[in-house]
Amino acid sequence: MPTTRRTDHRIAVFLSAVAFLLLLVEGLSAQSTRHSSTFNHTTWSDYGGGPDSSQYSALGQINRSNVGQLQIAWTFPTSDDNRYFFNPIEAHGLTYVLAENDSIIALDAHSGKKVWTHRPDPHTEIITDRGINYWESADGRDRRLIFAANHCLQEIDARTGESITSFGTGGRVDLKQGLGRDPSTLSLVQSTTPGRIFENLIILGSATNQGYGSAPGDIRAFDARTGKLVWQFHTIPHPGEPGYDTWPKDAWKRVGGANCWGEMSLDVQRGIVYVPTASAKYNFYGADRHGADLFADCLLALDARTGKLLWYFQMVHHDIWDYDNAAAPKLITVWHDGRKVDAVAQAGKTGFVYVFDRVTGKPLWPIEERPEPRSEMSGEETWPTQPFPLQPPPFARQSFTSADLSPLIGDPEEAGRFRRQIDASHDGGLFTPPDLGDTMEMPGNSGGANWGYVADDPTNGGLFVISMDLPCMLKLEREQTAPASANESVEQQGHFLFESNCRLCHGSDLKGLPPAIPSLVNVGARLSKEQIAATIRQGRGPMPGFAKLTDADVESLIAFLSNPSAVLASPSSERSSTSPATDPVPGPAPDYNRIHYLSGFGFMMTSAEVPPIKPPWSSLTAYDLNKGTIKWQIPLGEVPELAAKGIDNTGFPFPKTGPVVTAGGLVFTATRDHFVRAFDEQSGKVLWEKRLDAAMQGMPSVYEVDGREYLVVCAAAPEVTDAAAQKAIRGAYVAFALP
């Protein structure tokens, strides 16, 4: 009997083990199915179409032969006057969009009918507005949408829109915590770009700020169920970490940036996350951060489970041009030197494409370090060389002289002003250091490739880059620091704060350079005081927040913005800075941690609000990365006012849009000239186009429900002209499908 009992026990243990293994296999199968569907590019449950950020769909129902038959399947109005460039995602028959005063809305993926709405506080909460993340458990029972609002990571139930209060503390993870700084001094941490989901992790970058004293750009991974921090990579290294000696001592305590505000990519099979980083801050003057400044302006390869650094490459040493890496690294397999290579390609603001072996980080083609001009600014020490890829060729123009001035500038006096300014500017190429005079920057700090601008075809080594040629004229000025005077009006105090913090971008006349820099004319009539205060505090889009401003400062600034004529009509109200405005700084050994120079982004625009360089102002370039060559390059879009006069092939300025490639041999993109187009992947020929009621930006989405393929675009962008930018935007999400 004892022997029988032992045998029965062994059988029971064996059967239990078998049952456990079956459950384990079932769980792994569920997890594998979720990953394989994404890997096969047949769903759009991730921002950009998949964890690899390919912006590619393996669906081929819509193809070269039938794309001309596309028709509108459904529309969903945004029902407010806000601008949107949201990339919709789809999972289990629901399409998720941002609309109705920044609410997350679930739509029936077949019909576009609303299923539920998650509504934030429209006055104070600003949700990640380029896209959100979707996570589900291995068994598919737990489905969540993950996003940030007010610098807090949050989650809602993907089936109901209800907040998940068990996540973090009361449903929130404060992203300002754990950065080695006093959270109350940090104005901007939340990025408008979503992170990446890997297994049960949400991997995040951040937006930090554009100014001195901004947050460090640590890359962090949180548990998708609990919100607990799992790992953290310091992009401004701490003592004992690699790269620490490329900064001044203890720079991590005071210098900010080196962040990923753009798009990451995941090699799910290898467990590697590829992270493109931005410049250190301040953008245009680096006397307080001597050195190469690792890991700013790098492509990082990190272990997705631990955050361990595997390899890196720095595209710009000691960046003082705001040449951030913003576009997603593209994971692509190519033939190179007679063998297949898993590669990663990074397109930059500089107009270059850098291509590396995905595992080792070795460049596929030589990258040459070349001597570059040294800065003559007091305190500044530029790096002596910069890297130049020898192949593939650049996708954007990298110089702008008066010989390149646009013939479309109709006013001879205006053309003459541009010519004189260009001829008198400092121009030593891509890496000319800014100083107290005009310094040419081309393709400009908002030119080249930006977020969403790049897609790839993983089946054939094709890379597709949207780019913008937007020259900039940089000019440094001393920061104004004069204290307020007791006999000044609140509007006058606000005006000084505007001049110190906002003028270099928005201009003394408050008109900005729409759409890159919005006009602030009549902003008090368009936004509530709470909305203006939230934007000043937190920033929005490319605009940084200003945590250093007190509540009284914000009140004064709002008072000026609400009634600028009270000050601008009175020249006697001008107040000068107590800081000297000349260079070099007098006196012995100045402390450059306290002396700050500022520059606007310097966008050069004509009175017609287009760049002064010859068209095209935006382009779509197709590369064959098996050969490292350009297959074709075409202007992207038209300027309607010019096209009406027979002037075409200009490209549309400020595209702010992304291409999507499909197995049907098509490249889709929607632009701000109101057109969504389909291009032939092989030739660049336009095969179909449709004009919509509103301008478009962001990238389209492609998904299939019950055997029908849909293309969804977000048509809710502001017009380019300043006058139109003040008008209401009647936006909508528009889905196309075959009859």
DSSP string, 614-645: PSPSEEEEEEETTTTEEEEEEE----HHHHTT
Q: How far apart are CA 320 and CA 394, in angstroms?
A: 21
- Give the model's pLDDT for residue 547: 63
CATH architecture of 47-475+604-737: 8 Propeller (2.140)
Contact 332, 625 (CB under 8 A): yes
Q: What's the pLDDT band for 41 if we cut at 50, 70, 90? A: very high
Sign of torsion over alpha carbons 245, 251, 252, 256:
negative
Tell me the average pLDDT of the chain.
88
- Identify the sign of the CA torsion 71, 76, 79, 84: negative
CB 227 within 8 A of CB 164: no
Contact between residue 739 and residue 722 where contact means Cβ atoms under 8 Å apart: no
* Chain region(s) in the chain for CATH 2.140.10.10: 47-475+604-737
The predicted pLDDT at position 489 comes to 86
- Report CA-CA distances (Å) from 543 to 118, 170, 536, 537, 605: 26, 29, 9, 10, 19
Q: Say if residues 683 and 700 touch (Cβ distance below 8 Å).
A: no
Helix axes 551-562, 490-501, angle to 10 degrees: 100
Which residue, among 392, 336, 356, has the nearest Cα to 629 in the 3D structure? 392
Judge whether 651 and 615 are in contact, CB under 8 Å. yes
Is residue 351 within 8 Å of 448, Cβ to Cβ?
yes
d(Cα 538, Cα 700) in Å, to the nearest integer? 28
Is the distance from CB of 244 to CB of 292 less than 8 angstroms?
Answer: no
Q: What is the pLDDT of residues 341-373, one digit of tens each?
A: 999 999 999 999 999 999 999 999 999 999 999
The answer to whether the pTM exceeds 0.85 is: yes
Beta bridge partners of 201: 198, 223
CA 606 to chain CA centroid, nearest Å: 26
Sheet holding 330-336, edge to edge: 330-336, 339-347, 353-357
Angstrom distance (rounded) from CA 619 to CA 625: 18
Distance of CA 630 to the CA centre of its chain: 25
Give yes or no for residue 575 having a pLDDT over 80: no
In terms of Cα–Cα distance, which of 302, 314, 308, 275 is closest to 191?
275
End-to-end CA distance of the chain: 74
Stronger pLDDT, 603 or 552, i.e. the higher one? 603
Position 531 confidence tier, pLDDT thresholds 50, 70, 90:
confident
| More confidently predicted of 125 and 610 | 610
Contact between 480 and 509 (Cβ < 8 Å): no
582 Cβ neighbours under 8 A, 6+ residues apart: 478
**Mean pLDDT, to the nearest integer, of 674-680?**
97
Q: What pLDDT is recorded for position 485?
A: 65
Calpha distance 669→651 (Å, rounded): 13
Boundaries of CATH 1.10.760.10 in the chain?
Answer: 480-578
| Residue recorded with tokens 């107009």 | 351
Tokens of 702: 């492609």
Which CATH architecture is the domain 480-578 placed in? Orthogonal Bundle (1.10)
User: pLDDT by residue (tens digit) across 611-661?
Assistant: 999 999 999 999 999 999 999 999 999 999 999 999 999 999 988 889 999
Q: What is the chain's Cα-based Rg? A: 26
| The Cα angle at residue 578 between residues 576 and 580, in degrees rounded to 5 | 95
Q: Report whether pLDDT(722) > 70.
A: no
**Cα–Cα nearest to 115, from 134, 91, 137, 133:** 91
Which alpha helices (DSSP H) does 434-585 contain, by range? 490-501, 503-506, 523-526, 529-538, 551-562, 565-568
**What is the spatial distance between Cα 207 and Cα 405, in angstroms, rounded to a whole number?**
34
pLDDT score, position 509: 84
Instruction: Tell me the per-residue pLDDT of 136-192, one tens digit each, with 9 for 90 and over.
Output: 999 999 999 999 998 999 999 999 999 999 999 999 999 999 999 999 888 778 888
Tokens describing residue 80: 């407010």
Question: What pLDDT is attached to residue 24?
Answer: 39
